[in-house]
Amino acid sequence: MSTREVQGVAILGSTGSVGENTLDVVARHPDRFRVVALGAHRNVEKLAEQCQRFSVPYAAMADTAAAARLESQLRSLRAPTRVIAGADGLEEIARHPEVHSVMAAIVGAAGLPSTLAAARAGKRLLLANKESLVMAGPLLMRTVRESNAVLLPIDSEHNAVFQCLPHTARTGEAPPGVRKILLTASGGPFIDADRARLDRVTPAEACAHPNWVMGRKISVDSATLMNKGLEFIEACLLFGVSPHQVEVVIHRESIVHSLVEYVDGSVLAQLGAPDMRTPIAHALAWPDRVTSGVQSLDLIKVGSLRFEAPDLRRFPALALAQEAARAGGSRPASLNAANEVAVSAFLEGGLNFARIPSVIESVMATTSGGEIRDLQDVLAADAEARARATALMRV
């Protein structure tokens, strides 16, 4: 596609932080990008405002009751938007012929079907939904290859790695000359907390990330370091490397977003202010570069950059994810499902923060592993782990 052609963009999860940042970048370049479709779960007010502001032709809401309210509200606003109800609607807009690029930003397992639909349709898939890759990595990467889709990572760490690879690199394939990938982690709000402090953590405290503005679920994952564990699994799949080639390092400043070490001893790093608009703009315009609205990085003001090893005893969630990456098969899907159940219980006040990794560990010790051949295998592993995690909540 010529860089002068206007790209049709669909944003799945448009009412979340990644979705809003994507709209911010798109709005800066009306000559390059056009919002064709938006998708969300049930935030009617925000989606209605977005549809009106961008004159969006199509909108999908997974919650059918919310979709009916959206349709009524848009009608009263005289907005020219067709509303599609139900989870199938998200898949429909992901496949839409007017859509060139799909931002997959629906949080959790709920984002998997529409992400796969975009891949099957051969779209440029901007992957912000890490759970899709963790759950169904082999299936998703195979679908991308067979459909000649283009998968570009949106997580700041994986996007940083991609930027440090040779320009010929393609996700899912081992890049030549790479010895190691180093994923940076801020450490979250409790990096220096002792065990007694972790026992008293509230949902509001866990969601107060020191460097990034994110949704509640991913904020809790960052606080337990499970987010970095999920990214560890992702990195192996995205870049065709083995778990022993991926290392996690704590970098509190969140300035170096990740690094790539080559066999000749060179280490390339991508730096920038902690703002999701950078990876979003990179993926939307790739292989070109466009302005994102992100403030320039002032290294003099930053002063110094620190790196340290993660404490796996204090944050065992990361170790559990690394173990799942080594095991492969359906183990990452089970890990993700158990984590989603445990995090949801914590946010609703039904589980102590420090017990989140314990629930996941118990589930992983009792669920069966197996090969991921198709979507049914993924869903079976997911359902089994969710049932076991839910049962643990009742004990």
Contacts of 97 (CB under 8 A, 6+ apart): none
Cα angle vertex 137, ends 206, 230, to 5°? 20
Which has the closest alpha carbon to 134: 239, 17, 243, 238?
238
Average pLDDT over residues 61-74: 93
pLDDT of the residue at 370:
86
DSSP string covering 47-80? HHHHHHHHT-SEEEESSHHHHHHHHHHHHHHT--
The enclosing domain of 42 has a CATH number of: 3.40.50.720
Q: Are residues 200 and 265 in the same domain?
A: yes
Q: Which residues span the domain enclosing 364?
A: 328-395
The answer as to whether 185 is a domain residue is yes
Name the DSSP class of 151.
E
**Collapsing DSSP states into helix, strand and coil, what is residue 153?**
strand
Q: Are residues 73 and 11 in the same domain?
A: yes
pLDDT of the residue at 395:
60
The answer as to whether 83 is a domain residue is yes
Band (pLDDT 50/70/90 cuts) for residue 213 is: low
Q: Are residues 145 and 224 in the same domain?
A: no
The enclosing domain of 357 has a CATH number of: 1.10.1740.10
Q: Are residues 353 and 232 in the same domain?
A: no
Which has the closest alpha carbon to 257: 159, 157, 130, 127?
157
The answer as to whether 149 is a domain residue is yes
Instruction: Please count the structural domains in the chain.
Output: 3
Q: Does pLDDT of 4 surpass 80?
A: no
The answer as to whether 1 is a domain residue is no
DSSP string covering 191-256? TT--HHHHTT--HHHHT--SS----HHHHHHHHHTHHHHHHHHHHHHHTT--GGGEEEEE-TT--E
Provide the mean pLDDT of the chain: 93
The answer as to whether 368 is a domain residue is yes
**Reported pTM:** 0.92
Domain C-terminal end among 124, 153, 182: 153
Q: Are residues 305 and 355 in the same domain?
A: no
Count CB atoms within 10 A of the CB of residue 346.
23
Average pLDDT over residues 3-24: 92
Q: Are residues 308 and 351 in the same domain?
A: no
Q: Are residues 14 and 122 in the same domain?
A: yes
Each residue's pLDDT tens digit, 91-110:
999 999 999 999 999 987 88
Q: Are residues 345 and 225 in the same domain?
A: no
Q: Are residues 127 and 199 in the same domain?
A: no
Task: Round the CA-based radius of gyration of the chain to a whole number and report it.
Answer: 20
The answer as to whether 282 is a domain residue is no
Average pLDDT over residues 251-269: 97
Q: Are residues 65 and 178 in the same domain?
A: no
The answer to which of 8-17, 184-193, 306-315, 333-342 has the lowest mean pLDDT is 184-193
The answer as to whether 301 is a domain residue is yes
pLDDT of the residue at 1:
43
Query: How do strand 267-271 and strand 256-262 relate by DSSP bridges?
Result: antiparallel
Band (pLDDT 50/70/90 cuts) for residue 2 is: very low
Q: Are residues 80 and 202 in the same domain?
A: no
Q: Are residues 87 and 34 in the same domain?
A: yes
Contacts of 93 (CB under 8 A, 6+ apart): 10, 12, 36, 37, 38, 39, 58, 60, 84, 99, 114
The answer as to whether 161 is a domain residue is no
